[in-house]
Amino acid sequence: MDGSSAGPAGAVGLLRSAFAPGAPDSPQGPYLPLALLREIAPVLHDEELDTRFLTGFADCQAVLSGPAFAVPDGDWLRRERPEWAARPAAEFFYASLLGTNGAAHERLRAPLTAAFGPRRVAELSAGVEKTVEELLDRFADATSDGGAADFQEIVGYPLPVAVVGELIGVPRADRERFHRLGRDAARLLEPVRSDEDWHRADAAVTVLREYFAALLRERRARPTGDLASALLAQAGADRHPGVDRHPGAESPPDGGRHRAGARQPLGEGELADLLLLVFVAGFETTAGLLGTAVHTLLTHPGQAALLRADPGLLPGAVEEVLRWDGPVLMTERLALRPVGVGGVTVPAGGSVTAVLGAANRDPDRYPDPDAFLVHRTGVRVLSFGAGPHYCFGAALARLEGALLLGRLLERFPRLAPAGEPVRRSSACLRSFDVLPLAATG
Ligand code: HEM
């Protein structure tokens, strides 16, 4: 079989029903059509979108980790989508971590991993706990009359905005404005972007670039302990090799292919763009995880009871939420040369889309994959991707999830859904815009 096969009749229909934004909002979400698709066409060429959708765990992992695939980058942009190339948002995205490969990607990623290691995540933990407590106080106030309040508005969004703001060094007073701008810029993470998405993303990227450039100037004059200051120090160290690197830096689970040797230090515009990418990638995804985690536990009261009885299960429960309904449903790669995937040959330049959410429910990988079980063992999710682009903030997101769930279940023993949640309108991001809950229901 070659890469041009459209798969069995009906398969594309299943695909469409799985990815229609918000449409398959049944308890199974997009997962029922995706499971059927995995059975009949685990590699399905969608000719209209011209990409091959992969729904098996092993195929997705191989594509993300293997050397035969790359993300669409600046060359691809100029060749395939020249009409986008002059847009500030496109120029930013296709020169960012998520739009570069090989040495160019390594050059951007190495200073980040050097500046933000496990030690820094541990240092942020006390601040995350404090923010969780403050936001849950607000949630308690908002529901103290026995009525409902929107969990996402009060906790689900503000928590990751505060945490990523704290990480980067964004002052508290600026965070509300950041929330709005970040949402507009995050439209770039959608696989298909409308004119309206581009328009909003262009405007947000332009403002945020200026903001981060000013923040870096400020930190150059007065360094603090934040990521902006650490990246400036790192760029300085790269200009003067021999100065100590941050010890204990986190490397992606790819055997350390990213550890850069000699490299050209990043300029200030590149550092500003790096902060912007961390910001954009870091909060909508985590807000998605937090809302989904809470909603899933409330709709699986038996599992919530297990967690209340044994908080030691919390990290595993967060992993299970990531597996069962993770925030990022899919991600695209291009073949660098003709390559076989799941029995299909993908031609050089051919597009494949790893459906992470389907991979995480592959019965070949997980027994009883559709059951949500907080004590499931052996969970290794693809929700943060794999290989060179493995999520830079995975440890931080996991920390936020475990700390929030632990305190929420402890403080609100009678927490309950209190109205219809509203899903984010997105083909890729699994998240709630609105999640009404009552604390005394
Ligand atoms: C539950 C929350 C999160 C999820 C599900 C998530 C998911 C992902 C995924 C799937 C990728 C890889 C995309 C690809 O391979 O095409 C990724 C990359 C990335 N994530 Fe996250 N993410 C989360 C939270 C965060 C946070 C909190 C931060 C920042 C503090 C962050 C920063 C990044 C960055 C910078 C990249 C690009 C890495 C690279 O290309 O080298 N993410 N994330």
How far apart are alpha carbons 149 and 153 in whole angstroms?
8
Per-residue burial over 259-284, b if 16 or more Cβ lie within 10 Å, else e, is ebeeeebbeeebbbbbbbbbbbbbbb
Given pLDDT bands bounded at 50, 70 and 90, which one contains residue 241? low
Distance CA 148, CA 134 (A): 18
Arithmetic mean of pLDDT over the chain: 89
Ligand 1 pocket, 161 CB below 6 A?
no
State what percent of residues in the chain have pLDDT above 90: 75
Distance, CA of 342 to CA of 2 (rounded, Å):
11
Q: What is the pLDDT of residues 11-35, one digit of tens each?
A: 777 777 777 655 545 555 799 999 9
399 domain-assigned: yes
At residue 2, the pLDDT reads: 40
> Nearest residue CA, atom 38 of ligand 1?
389
In the three-class reduction of DSSP (H, G, I as helix; E, B as strand; rest coil), residue 86 is classed as: coil
Q: List pLDDT tens digits, range 86-127.
A: 999 999 999 999 999 999 999 999 999 998 888 888 999 999
Say if ligand 1 is within 6 A of residue 98 CB: yes
pLDDT at 83 over 60: yes
CB of 109 closer than 6 angstroms to any ligand 1 atom: yes
Number of domains the chain is built from: 1
Report whether pLDDT(150) > 80. yes
**1 occurs within a structural domain:** no
Q: According to the model, what pLDDT value does residue 12 have? A: 78
Q: Does the CB atom of residue 357 touch ligand 1 within 6 A?
A: no
Q: What is the per-residue pLDDT across 206-215, written as a single tens digit (0 to 9) for each? A: 999 999 999 9
pLDDT band at 302, cuts 50/70/90? Answer: very high
CB atoms within 10 A of CB 391: 17
Confidence at residue 252, expressed as pLDDT on a 0 to 100 scale: 40
Instruction: Give yes or no for residue 160 having a pLDDT over 50.
Output: yes
Whole-number pLDDT of residue 249: 38
Structure tokens at 128: 């995350």
pLDDT of amino acid 253: 41
Mean pLDDT over residues 239-245, rounded? 53
Higher-pLDDT residue of 59, 191: 59
Q: What spacing in Å lies between the alpha carbon of 65 and ligand 1's midpoint?
A: 15
- Identify whether 187 is part of a domain: yes
353 CB under 6 A from ligand 1? no
Residue 387 beta carbon below 6 angstroms from any ligand 1 atom = no
User: Distance from the CA of 323 to the center of ligand 1, in angstroms?
Assistant: 15
User: How high is the pLDDT of residue 259?
Assistant: 40
Range of the domain at 124: 11-438
Is 35 part of any domain? Answer: yes
Which percentage of the chain shows pLDDT scores above 70?
90
Q: Tell me if 272 CB under 6 Å of ligand 1.
A: no
Residue whose Cα lies nearest atom 19 of ligand 1: it is 391
Whole-number Å distance, alpha carbon 182 to ligand 1 midpoint, is 14
Nearest CA among 279, 275, 271, 212 for reference residue 239: 271
6, part of any domain:
no
Instruction: Confirm whether 4 is domain-assigned.
Output: no
What does the pLDDT look like over 386-441, one tens digit per residue? 999 999 999 999 999 999 999 999 999 999 999 999 998 888 899 999 999 999 74
- What is the pLDDT confidence band of residue 250, given thresholds at 50, 70 and 90? very low
The CATH number given to whatever domain includes residue 30 is 1.10.630.10
Return the CA Rg of the chain: 21
**Residue 192 clears pLDDT 90, i.e. is over it:** no
- Rounded to two decimals, the pTM is 0.92
Q: For residue 185, tell me if it sits in a domain.
A: yes
| Ligand 1 pocket mutation, candidates 285, 286, 430, criterion most atoms within 8 A of CB | 285
* The 3-state secondary structure of 393-428, one letter per residue: CHHHHHHHHHHHHHHHHHHCCCCEECCCCEECCCCC
5-19, 135-149, 346-360: least confident range? 5-19
Grouping H, G, I as helix, E, B as strand and the rest as coil, residue 244 is coil
Position in ligand 1 atom list of the atom nearest CA 283: 27
- Residue with CA closest to ligand 1 atom 12: 385
Average pLDDT on 312-325 reads: 97
Whole-angstrom Cα distance, residue 349 to residue 69?
Answer: 9
Dump the DSSP string for 166-193: HHHT--GGGHHHHHHHHHHHGGGGSSS-
Band of pLDDT at residue 193, cut at 50, 70 and 90: confident
186 falls within a domain? yes
Confidence label for 248 from pLDDT (cuts 50, 70 and 90): very low
**Which residue is closest in CA terms to ligand 1's atom 21?**
391
**Per-residue confidence (pLDDT) for residue 28, from 0 to 100:** 59
pLDDT at 234 over 70: yes
Is the minimum distance from the CB of 389 to ligand 1 under 6 angstroms? Answer: yes
Q: Whose CA is nearest to atom 17 of ligand 1?
A: 391
Taking CA atoms only, the protein residue closest to ligand 1 atom 41 is: 389
> Region 263-270: what's the mean pLDDT?
88
- Ligand 1, atom 34: nearest CA belongs to which residue? 392
The pLDDT value given to residue 26: 57
Instruction: Specify the long-range contacts of residues 233-236, CB closer than 8 Å, at least 24 apart.
Output: 233/115, 234/111, 234/114, 234/115, 235/111, 235/265, 235/266, 235/271, 236/265
Q: How many CB atoms lie within 10 A of CB 27?
A: 8
- Which atom number of ligand 1 is nearest to the Cα of residue 97? 40
